[in-house]
Amino acid sequence: MRVLRFGPSIVFIKPEEIGRDIENLFNVEPVAFDRALGESQEFETILVPAGAEKGTPFNSRKSVYLIKERVDIVLKEIMNAKLPVQEIIIEAKHIILRVPANPDKAAEDIIQRYKGKKTGFAGGLMEGEEKDTLILITTKKLNLPLKMKDIDEGILVKQPFMELYRDLVVHLPIIMHKTMPEGWNELTIKVYDTEKRYEENLERLFLVIEDLDWGFVVSEGWDWDYPRPFMRVPVYKLKLITWEKPEKVKFLLKGLEYRGYKRFCDIDVFLEGKKISWVSIAKGLEKFEVAKKAREELESLLTPDVLRSLHEIEDKLISSGS
> Cα–Cα distance between 317 and 38 in angstroms, integer?
36
- Evaluate whether 249 touches 269 at the Cβ level (below 8 Å): yes
> Cα–Cα distance between 189 and 275 in angstroms, integer?
10
Instruction: Enter the pTM of the model.
Output: 0.77
- The contacts of residue 47 (CB under 8 Å, 6+ apart) are 11, 13, 22, 64, 65, 67, 74
- Strand, helix or coil for residue 271: strand
Domain boundaries defined on the chain = 4-179, 185-319
**DSSP 8-state symbol, 92:** P
**DSSP 8-state symbol, 91:** P
> Cα–Cα distance between 35 and 147 in angstroms, integer?
7
Q: What are φ and ψ of residue 288, in 5° steps?
A: -70, -35
The CATH-assigned architecture of domain 185-319 is: 2-Layer Sandwich (3.30)
> For every one of its 322 residues, what pLDDT tens digit does the chain have, with 9 covering 90 and above?
788 999 899 999 999 899 999 999 999 999 988 889 889 988 999 999 986 455 554 555 568 999 999 999 999 999 999 999 999 988 888 899 998 888 999 999 999 999 999 998 888 888 888 889 999 999 988 887 788 889 999 999 999 888 999 999 999 888 888 887 667 899 999 999 989 999 999 999 999 999 998 988 989 999 988 877 777 888 999 999 998 899 999 999 999 999 988 999 999 999 988 999 989 998 888 888 999 999 999 999 999 999 999 999 999 999 886 5
> Cα–Cα distance between 49 and 62 in angstroms, integer?
10
Look at residues 70, 105, 118, 95 and name the one whose alpha carbon lies nearest to residue 167: 95
Q: At what angle do helices 287-301 and 246-257 cross, to 10 degrees?
A: 100
> Cα–Cα distance between 180 and 171 in angstroms, integer?
15
Task: List, as one string, the DSSP characters of 219-252.
Answer: EEEEEEEEEETTEEEEEEEEEEEESS-HHHHHHH
